[in-house]
């Protein structure tokens, strides 16, 4: 060191200081990127937020599009690759997304359909829109809680406690929904999609679907079978449209549009808001029809 020139000693000392700083910085814990829980459709996000709380951000993939045909962009595929967990329904609902989901590790994706036994009373057992029934939402929430508990064991009991609380809340919400619809179980209810059976079926309201799956066609035979049923309601999807309105008129039914994906809900809406909104939308039509045997509402 004594043989170095003054300028060399300065350079050497500066290099040591820089090296020490780098070693110190490398040894410090770096702020980790916040892991996100990614869900396919908004109703699942409403359920997932009940479990994830503030600890895990929830991101919705499919916004303003048809889940059946949605394909993730390059940016969204990168999002899936780094996500803590992908929650989706399954190829029955998000057919194109299935290919991308197959590339993710099993523990980092949760396919809700087939993961548990859901309730299908009054609904088509092959229809994937299980979130339209509060009791099924509680089952889905429990599945999400268990998978998050596996991925983040330090938060396991928090997630499970939230799932239990949500289940109790959904049991009460299901009773409210069933009571509100029970009096209309003998009213003709026609729907443009089998999905609505999940919403109405638990209360005993029988829905007659014009189409099922992702087939939007209204067959001539079903039209003939539904004609002349008497005063009732036809429920279509949002936004309201002339096609469904004219169809309702042709069948002699009143008409209202329902929003099963929660597209019209506020940004900070909850799952309860989704169900209460659907009930309010249904009542716009049903309230025009006298209910039957309202005194016999179940307890």
pLDDT in tens, 49-101: 999 999 999 999 998 888 999 999 999 999 999 999 999 999 999 999 999 99
Q: What are phi and psi of 255, to 5 degrees?
A: -140, 140
Domain contains 130: yes
Q: Could you identify the residue written with the tokens 């309601």? A: 233
Q: Are residues 194 and 278 in the same domain?
A: yes
Q: Is residue 17 a part of any domain in this protein?
A: no
What is the number of structural domains in the chain? Answer: 2
DSSP alpha helix (H) spans, 33-190 = 42-52, 74-82, 97-101, 134-151, 156-182
pLDDT tens-place string over residues 94-118: 999 999 999 999 999 999 999 999 9
pLDDT at 293: 53
Asked if the peptide bond before residue 239 counts as cis, ω within 30 degrees of 0, the response is yes
CA atoms within 13 A on the CB side of 53: 14
Residues 44, 171, single domain; the answer is yes
105/236 same-domain check: no
Same domain, 207 and 269: yes
SS3 content of the chain, % helix, strand, coil (to 5): 50, 10, 40
């Amino acid at each position: 060191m004594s043989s170095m020139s003054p300028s060399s000693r300065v350079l050497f000392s500066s290099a040591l200081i820089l090296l020490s700083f780098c070693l110190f910085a490398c040894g410090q814990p770096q702020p980790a990127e916040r892991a996100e829980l990614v869900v396919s459709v908004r109703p699942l996000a409403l359920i997932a937020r009940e479990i994830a709380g503030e600890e895990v951000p929830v991101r919705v993939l499919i916004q303003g599009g048809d889940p059946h045909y949605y394909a993730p962009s390059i940016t969204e595929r990168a999002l899936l690759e780094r996500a803590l967990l992908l929650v989706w329904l399954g190829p029955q609902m998000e057919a194109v997304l299935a290919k991308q989901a197959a590339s993710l590790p099993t523990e980092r994706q949760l396919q809700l359909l087939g993961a548990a036994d859901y309730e299908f009373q009054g609904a088509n057992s092959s229809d994937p829109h299980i979130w339209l029934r509060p009791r099924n939402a509680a089952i889905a929430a429990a599945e999400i809680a268990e998978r998050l508990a596996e991925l983040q064991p330090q938060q396991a009991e928090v997630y499970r406690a939230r799932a239990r609380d949500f289940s109790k809340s959904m049991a009460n919400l299901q009773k409210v929904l069933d009571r509100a619809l029970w009096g209309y179980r003998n009213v003709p209810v026609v729907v443009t999609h089998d999905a609505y059976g999940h919403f109405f079926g638990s209360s005993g309201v029988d829905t007659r679907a014009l189409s099922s799956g992702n087939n939007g066609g209204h067959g001539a035979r079903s039209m003939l079978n539904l004609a002349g049923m008497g005063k009732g309601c036809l429920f279509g999807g949002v936004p309201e449209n002339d096609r469904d309105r004219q169809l309702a008129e042709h069948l002699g039914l009143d008409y209202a549009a329902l929003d099963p994906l929660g597209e019209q809900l506020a940004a900070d809406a909850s799952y309860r808001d989704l169900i209460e909104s659907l009930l309010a939308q249904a009542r716009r039509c049903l309230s025009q029809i006298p209910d039957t045997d309202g005194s016999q509402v179940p307890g």
